[in-house]
Amino acid sequence: MNLISIEDFSPFISALKFGAHKHRYQKRKDAEQTPYFNHPIEVAELLWRVGNVRDISVLTAALLHDVIEDTETTHEDIETNFGARVLSLVLEVSDDKSLPKETRKELQVKHASGLSPGARLIKIADKICNVRDVTHSPPPEWSFRRRMEYLDWAERVVKAMNGCNENLEEEFYRMLREGRQRINAG
Ligand code: NDP
Ligand code: ZN
């Protein structure tokens, strides 16, 4: 039998419970209205499986990467439950919601190259999942143009983090090519 370490598994399983609770009433924007928390789970799974990421703080922060932006969670909440490094990673990948959307999108491009290595991993995995969603399960009201613009913007963010993780970058550009082909094909 292979025993897992308590120090590693405890924060991860707690973050699963914490995130599932915080996002419990939220849905993704796809036609099926998928439960929101499926998305952070997919981001963590991608980091583990494709990126071979084994840093438990990064995997834990991936599960929590949208709680500051999209729920009532406070900084203290995260620091008390998961520690300063997880909080710092989550903050690095959170937009300032008081700014207009256009500004936030430009700031993501501008700040990407200055992110810590752990935050870059979460950011690229998030973009892979969102490009996949825009390709296969987009918000129903999004036009062809809006979907293409989203892909262009995601590419600008990821380009600014060049060299963060070979496997994840390969996966991102593969998804991007597939997305452009499929969206173009209608
Ligand atoms: P939004 O920011 O409104 O939505 C995209 C975000 O929603 C993703 O980054 C993702 O964030 C989350 N999300 C949840 N469910 C899905 C899903 N199924 N598929 C994809 N993403 C999902 O959209 P935009 O990125 O387009 O940003 C809005 C900008 O678009 C504004 O600047 C606005 O001015 C502009 N706009 C453009 C239009 C056009 O036709 N070109 C029309 C209207 C607005 P997360 O990972 O955080 O969950
Ligand atoms: Zn996200």
**Ramachandran category for residue 28: left, alpha or beta (phi over 0 → left; psi -120 to 50 → alpha):** beta
The reply to whether 1 falls in a domain is no
The reply to whether 117 falls in a domain is yes
Protein residues near ligand 2, an ion, with CB under 5 A: 66, 126
The reply to whether 107 falls in a domain is yes
Domains contained in the chain, number = 1
Region 43-52: mean pLDDT is 98
Region 162-174: mean pLDDT is 97
* pLDDT value, residue 69: 96
* pLDDT value, residue 186: 81
The reply to whether 2 falls in a domain is no
* pLDDT value, residue 135: 98
Ligand 1 binding site (Cβ under 6 Å of any ligand atom): 28-30, 39, 66, 101-102, 105, 126, 130, 133-134, 137-139, 143, 145-146, 149-150
Report pTM.
0.96
Read off the pLDDT of residues 19-39 as tens digits, 9 standing for 90 and up.
999 999 999 999 999 999 999
The reply to whether 153 falls in a domain is yes
Domain that holds residue 110: 7-185
SS (H, E, C) 93-142: CCCCCCCCHHHHHHHHHHHHCCCCHHHHHHHHHHHHHHHHHHHHCCCCCC
The reply to whether 39 falls in a domain is yes
Active-site annotation holder among 8, 69, 149, 178: 69
Report the CATH number that the domain containing residue 146 is assigned in CATH: 1.10.3210.10
